């Protein structure tokens, strides 16, 4: 299996970074091919702009998605985007590893998605969900946060964390065609003992060792909708 880990944490000694290293070591030990995009270490530019296109279709007015389509057709994406896009298309499994910022990814990872999930290839037209450009691949989100598990139960004050992550899990990953595996969550991390953190690392390694047992989250299928995307009648 070909695995791409995209990691976003500014501190290399953080627990999130330890999860990243554990994923790389575990998957490599299991015989999988692994590539890593450590976004902060790379100095990845998260800002989507007209500078992302070497030969813009309209130099006077940038419609970003249209420029992405043009650049895909003319092989004129900026080199940093093309390098990450090549990794994305190479992988069978994408792991996004990050600390939770305001119930979402850090800005640098959001920028990676904005720039690398290009229109005309990853999505566009009716190229989405189970007909998305990245079908046949799986995605796994690994997230750390300070909150406790009971706060994110159906009856908890925040509600289930996967629901809060829906813009990423469904609106991005599933929309692009991925089969989205249930997220791995490191709860209450800043307040745990080293022993407790070690147990979470072990749970992460065990999860990676048994990925074939994971059942993807249910997501929409275009087969259940008509040509105008109205639900098909039973």
Tell me whether residue 61 is in a domain: yes
Distance CA 96, CA 195 (A): 25
Tell me whether residue 231 is in a domain: no
Tell me whether residue 119 is in a domain: yes
Give the model's confidence band at 228: pLDDT under 50 very low, under 70 low, under 90 confident, else very high.
confident
Contact 168, 142 (CB under 8 A): no
What element of type H or E holds 38? strand 33-38
Cα→Cα distances 142→96, 104, 125, 162, 188, Å:
6, 12, 30, 12, 14
What is the pLDDT, as a whole number, of residue 219? Answer: 95
Tell me the pLDDT tens digit for each residue of 18-62: 999 999 999 999 999 999 999 999 999 999 999 999 999 999 999
Domain tally for the chain?
1
Domain with 107 in it: what CATH number? 3.40.50.360
What is the pLDDT, as a whole number, of residue 18? Answer: 96
Is the pLDDT assigned to residue 194 strictly greater than 80?
A: yes
Going by C-beta distance under 8 Å and a sequence separation of 6 or more, which residues neighbour residue 229? Answer: 222
Identify the DSSP state of 1.
-
What is the pLDDT, as a whole number, of residue 46? Answer: 98
Identify the DSSP state of 127.
B
Tell me whether residue 229 is in a domain: no
Tell me whether residue 106 is in a domain: yes
What is the pLDDT, as a whole number, of residue 216? Answer: 96
Query: By residue range, what is the domain housing residue 54?
Result: 2-224
Calculate mean pLDDT across residues 169-198.
Answer: 95
What is the pLDDT, as a whole number, of residue 88? Answer: 98
């Amino acid at each position: 299996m070909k695995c791409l880990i995209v990691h976003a944490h500014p501190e290399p000694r953080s627990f999130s970074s330890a999860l990243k290293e554990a994923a790389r070591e575990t998957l490599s030990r299991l015989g999988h091919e692994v590539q890593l995009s450590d976004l902060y270490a790379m100095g990845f530019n998260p800002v989507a702009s007209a500078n992302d296109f070497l030969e813009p279709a309209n130099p006077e007015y940038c419609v970003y998605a249209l420029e992405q389509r043009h650049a895909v057709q003319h092989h004129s994406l900026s080199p940093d985007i093309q390098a990450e896009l090549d990794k994305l298309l190479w992988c069978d499994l994408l792991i996004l590893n990050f600390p939770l910022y305001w119930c979402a990814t850090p800005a640098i990872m959001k920028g990676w998605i904005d720039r690398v999930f290009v229109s005309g290839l990853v999505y566009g037209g009716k190229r989405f969900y189970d007909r998305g450009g990245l079908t046949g691949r799986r995605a796994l989100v690994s997230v750390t946060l300070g909150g406790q598990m009971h706060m994110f139960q159906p009856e908890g004050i925040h509600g289930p964390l996967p629901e809060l992550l829906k813009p990423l899990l469904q609106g991005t990953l599933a929309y692009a065609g991925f089969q989205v595996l249930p997220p791995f969550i490191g709860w209450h991390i800043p307040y745990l003992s080293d022993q407790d953190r070690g147990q979470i690392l072990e749970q992460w390694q065990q999860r990676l060792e048994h990925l074939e047992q994971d059942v993807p989250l249910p997501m929409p299928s275009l087969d259940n909708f008509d040509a105008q995307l109205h639900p098909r009648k039973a």
